[in-house]
Amino acid sequence: MNKNQTPSERVPPGQYLVEKWPVLSYGPTPRFNPATWDFRLFGAVEQSVRLSYQQFRALPQTQLTTDFHCVTTWSRLDNRWEGVLVKDVLALVRLKAEARHVMLHCDGGYTTNLSLEHFLDSDVIFAHRHDGQDLEPDHGWPLRLVVPKLYAWKSAKWLRGVEFLTEHKRGFWEVRGYHTRGNPWTEERYSDQEDDET
């Protein structure tokens, strides 16, 4: 969000502010093993890529500060994320021209979908640190995506792969009644609010 905006202009409708950072997970926190962890870019790409944990950690590091809005109505402002920008990950693959969407795949089986356009936004980051500390296991250690402009169920924890799709598909919450786009500013909470453009 724009730095000149006052906090109330930064809080989407129907949201309240929290200072502490709640944990919202469906299912247990997976155990992390650096020896077996990998990260895959696959689907509508010229050639799939698989990175080890060391290789992922060697990618260029960036910091940015963004807001976080959960559809259960809490928002947390000014989260300082450290990690890898989407452009620095995408430099590793060549997307096919037909790629339009992405599916994020997590340890434990959670998935969530995004349009390629939202994924490519310059404020989307593959984060491993938050407010100066490594992510807690419950918050997604060793790697989560953060998509500040959409409801936080799109900010996949324990991320292991990005699949590029030529057609729209729905992830875990999106098949269970949540909106396929999830813009908090227009309260796109539930799938029965979807229009033709989604």
Ligand X SMILES: Nc1nc2c(c(=O)[nH]1)N[C@H]1C(S)=C(S)[C@@H](COP(=O)(O)O)O[C@H]1N2
> Site residues (CB under 6 A) for ligand X?
21-26, 70, 106, 110, 139-140, 152-153, 155-158
User: Minimum distance between the CB of residue 21 and ligand X, rounded to whole angstroms?
Assistant: 6
Measured between alpha carbons, how far is 88 from 110 in angstroms, rounded to an integer?
24
By CB under 5 A, residue 90 contacts Mo ion:
no
User: Minimum distance between the CB of residue 139 and ligand X, rounded to whole angstroms?
Assistant: 4
Comparing CB distances to ligand X, the nearer of 24 and 49 is 24
User: Minimum distance between the CB of residue 169 and ligand X, rounded to whole angstroms?
Assistant: 17
Comparing CB distances to ligand X, the nearer of 43 and 171 is 171
Comparing CB distances to Mo ion, the nearer of 1 and 70 is 70
- Give kind and range of the element (H or E) at residue 42: strand 38-43
One residue of 1, 18, 24, 116 binding Mo ion per CB under 5 A? 24
CA distances from 179 to 7, 106, 170, 173 (A): 26, 19, 9, 8
Measured between alpha carbons, how far is 56 from 16 in angstroms, rounded to an integer?
35
Comparing CB distances to ligand X, the nearer of 43 and 140 is 140
- Give kind and range of the element (H or E) at residue 87: helix 86-90
By CB under 5 A, residue 70 contacts Mo ion:
yes
User: Minimum distance between the CB of residue 123 and ligand X, rounded to whole angstroms?
Assistant: 16
Backbone φ and ψ for 75, nearest 5 degrees, come out as -130, 145
What pairs with residue 161 in β-bridges?
Answer: 40, 105
Let me know: does 151 contact 114? Beta carbons within 8 Å: no
Residue ranges that bind Mo ion, judged by CB under 5 A: 24, 70, 152-153
